[in-house]
Amino acid sequence: MCCQGAVACEEPIYMDEVRGEYYPMDSSIHADFCLRAQGDSMTGARIYDGDIIFIQSSPVVENGQIAAVAVDDEATLKYFYQYGDTVVLRPANAKYGEMTYSREDLDHLRILGRAVAFQSGL
């Protein structure tokens, strides 16, 4: 599986694609791409800085799933919740606040997919 860049586990970071880094993946994991986590906002979900996150591409995720989300040209990894015309991206670390988007802000969001697995210590 080719790792295609980094995803913030803090504030969103600029999306850049990095190709050529390959990581082993169990054959039971059905992912389309992977990203390297940066930061500590998802430590409560056991996702740490430097972990590899395997993502299954999807423009839609269910409430409570961990999603890779693009905000304009930046990406972040958070728990995803949608309530009507409001999207909340919730970290798994109490030292960070929720990121809330509504109405016209939603035009700037794009769900990249949901996290299906992660690997630490690579």
Residue owning tokens 């390959």: 22
> Which residues belong to the active site?
41, 78
